[in-house]
Structure 1
Amino acid sequence: MNSVAAPSPGFEATRTRAWITPLEIGVLGAIWGASFLFMRVAAPEFGAAPLVDVRLALGAIVLLPFLWRSRAHFPLKLWPKLALIGAINSAVPFVLFAWAAQRAPAGVGAICNSMTVLFTAIVGVLFFGEKISARRAGAVLVGFLGVVVLASGKTAGASLGWAVAAGTGAAVLYGIGINLVRRHLTGLPPAAVASATLTTSALLLLPFAIAQWPDHAISTKSWLATATLGVLCTGIAFVMYYRLIARVGASRAATVTYLVPVFGIAWAWLLLGEAVTPTMLAAGLLILGSVAFSQRAK
């Protein structure tokens, strides 16, 4: 009787990763896409600064064990730099997206968010001496065309221009923040860095949140949306993202960027009944196409 050799543990682990990774990328895209839905629900009652401060605080609490475990890597002199990067990479862009969510459909913010990849490349070229190929430069121009198309659209008769400007500004800040993290925080535990920047961002934003805290009672629905935004879409999502980076690398993990606007628009359509306009579809295709081409060119 011939014996059949059992698969090696390494083979089993590779086969498991083959289906686990796409699944986790899909789940993460769904979670981050839902963040624009939750902002759309909660921002009108909370206001931008109070909503974001609660979100940052809850996300920081979820990630606090990672910071505590790696606290020896974070001397006191590092914290001003963490605070600056946290403001650029978390506090201000979160506020801009929340402000936009009060004025435009959730899908608009999700589409603007996908520009982060392109702005990361632009900031690297302009301020950090990185080179960019003609193909990637062309992708950036197509992406900007998508932003112009999106800003020209209207929903229920209202212009989307200012909301698109806020979302695009947030993507620019993300691009700056990612470059700063690469150059000043490389070598530190990523989840602990996320916890530190979220914590400092929450503290920096606290005076503004207190000053702008709404006088009226906030509904249970908005509190639940905010809690989910902080715990799931910020804290838990960061943990998932850094696990993906550790397993498959940053480039492959970044493919979640393509899924966020798709899920953002889908959730808003399914759960809020927000219309998907031809302008949003055209802009989304231009921006996502440019991001995909930019990554391929890289």
Structure 2
Amino acid sequence: MQNSTLKWIYLIVLSIIWGSSFILIKKGLVGLTPIQLGTLRILFTAFFLLLIGWKSLRTIKKAEWKWIIISGVLGTGLPVFLFAYAETEIDSAIAAILNSSVPLLTLLLGLLIFGVSFLKRQLIGVLIGLGGATALILIGASINPSQNYWYALLVICASVMYALNVNIIKRYMQDIPAIAIATGNFIFLIPPAIILLIYSDFFNAELLETQEVQISVGYIVILALFGTAMAKVMFNKLVQISSPVFASSVTYLMPIISVTWGVLDGEKFTLWQLAASLVIIGGVYLVNKRTKTT
């Protein structure tokens, strides 16, 4: 299958998988702390990837391992905890919509750090998108006074890390197999995850026997297998066969899925929030819109 067709298939499948991840995080937090959720997500994912990708590690050159480690920290290691903490205070749908700023941040960081060229229209799109994100935070804070919307900044921080990771994969890991990148990412996350899990009191016998914790762990197993392990490999491949901005565009299809799950779960979503979300998507559209160039 040609890359021009394959990249769209990856984009749609990833939007469904990652769009469902936010509600799984929310359900996981019912019986787990953010630290427990993040560490279990890392460890389960590492287990799945090592089963299928151990041999692929041989394809990584010694000089490339530093980028593998950096990519692991930025693309998974820190964001899993930031999203978990964010969703203790803000709705899962809002977290997903704010995460749609990744394409805008990818372009902005590509320009500032990686020397990627841009069009005036794309800069306007970045400003519009960031304005929409700001409006979404302020509107959410006004209609959900019981929620602490300062936690929305954790989603923005995670989105910046995702944007950096996309640029790093495209610039420095273009020739490494996608499965090798994903597996290598998690090799170095296993030790700190085990240490954090031990100190989080997760192995308390009384805690593990509760049905609430057991169900939450089940949600994280699903999240790790599909939302992290499988999706991580697909996303790495998508970056390699397309552009960083196109690959990160998955984040503005995800809210369609996440908002649907959120509304079904009883989350509030007003017309003003819809308007702010459309502003963000409009900004991303301007960033990605093709134009004829000479």
TM category (shorter chain) comes to 0.7 to 0.9
In structure 1, give the amino acid aligned to 2:255.
Answer: P
2:251 is aligned with 1:263: no
- Is the Cα–Cα contact under 8 Å of residues 126 and 287 in structure 2 kept in the other structure? yes
The residue aligned with 2:267 is 274
- Is the Cα–Cα contact under 8 Å of residues 23 and 92 in structure 2 kept in the other structure? yes
The residue aligned with 2:277 is 284
Deviation at 1:161, TM superposition (A): 2.4
2:226 is aligned with 1:238: no
Q: Paired residue for 1:113, among 90, 94, 99?
A: 99
Identical amino acids, percent of aligned pairs: 26
Which blocks of at least 5 consecutive residues in structure 1 are unaligned? 1-12
Moved more, 104-113 or 251-260: 251-260
Q: Under a length normalisation based on structure 2, what TM-score does the superposition of the two structures give?
A: 0.84
Q: Paired residue for 1:180, among 154, 168, 171?
A: 168
Question: Whole-Å Cα distance in 2 between the matches of residues 253 and 127 of structure 1?
Answer: 18
Moved more, 65-74 or 128-137: 65-74
The residue aligned with 1:193 is 181
Q: Paired residue for 2:150, among 153, 162, 185?
A: 162
2:32 is aligned with 1:32: no
Moved more, 25-34 or 47-56: 25-34
- Is the Cα–Cα contact under 8 Å of residues 75 and 165 in structure 2 kept in the other structure? yes
SS in structure 1 at match of 2:90: coil
Shift in CA distance, 178/26, structure 1 to aligned 2, threshold 3 Å: closer
2:294 is aligned with 1:294: no
Which blocks of at least 5 consecutive residues in structure 2 are unaligned? none
In structure 2, give the amino acid aligned to 1:275.
Answer: K
Give a deviation string over 1:143-173, Cα, whole Å, max 9, x none: 1111211221235422452221110111011
Question: Whole-Å Cα distance in 2 between the matches of residues 232 and 90 of structure 1?
Answer: 14
Shift in CA distance, 22/118, structure 1 to aligned 2, threshold 3 Å: closer
Deviation at 1:98, TM superposition (A): 0.9
In structure 1, give the amino acid aligned to 2:12.
Answer: G
- Is the Cα–Cα contact under 8 Å of residues 252 and 281 in structure 2 kept in the other structure? yes
- Is the Cα–Cα contact under 8 Å of residues 122 and 287 in structure 2 kept in the other structure? yes
The residue aligned with 1:56 is 42
The residue aligned with 1:4 is none
In structure 1, give the amino acid aligned to 2:168.
Answer: L
- Is the Cα–Cα contact under 8 Å of residues 249 and 284 in structure 2 kept in the other structure? no
Deviation at 1:265, TM superposition (A): 0.8
Q: Paired residue for 2:214, among 210, 220, 240?
A: 220
Deviation at 1:52, TM superposition (A): 1.4
User: How many matched pairs?
Assistant: 281
Q: How does 1:86-97 map to 2 (within 5 A)?
A: 86-97=72-83
Give a deviation string over 1:93-116, Cα, whole Å, max 9, x none: 121111111111101111121111
Shift in CA distance, 225/108, structure 1 to aligned 2, threshold 3 Å: same
Greater Rg by CA:
1
Shift in CA distance, 185/148, structure 1 to aligned 2, threshold 3 Å: same
In structure 1, give the amino acid aligned to 2:71.
Answer: I
In structure 2, give the amino acid aligned to 1:267.
Answer: W
The residue aligned with 1:70 is 56
The residue aligned with 1:151 is 137
In structure 1, give the amino acid aligned to 2:173.
Answer: L
Q: Paired residue for 1:206, among 163, 183, 194?
A: 194
- Is the Cα–Cα contact under 8 Å of residues 116 and 171 in structure 1 kept in the other structure? yes
SS in structure 1 at match of 2:174: coil
Indicate the RMSD between aligned Cα atoms, in angstroms. Answer: 2.7
Q: Under a length normalisation based on structure 1, what TM-score does the superposition of the two structures give?
A: 0.83
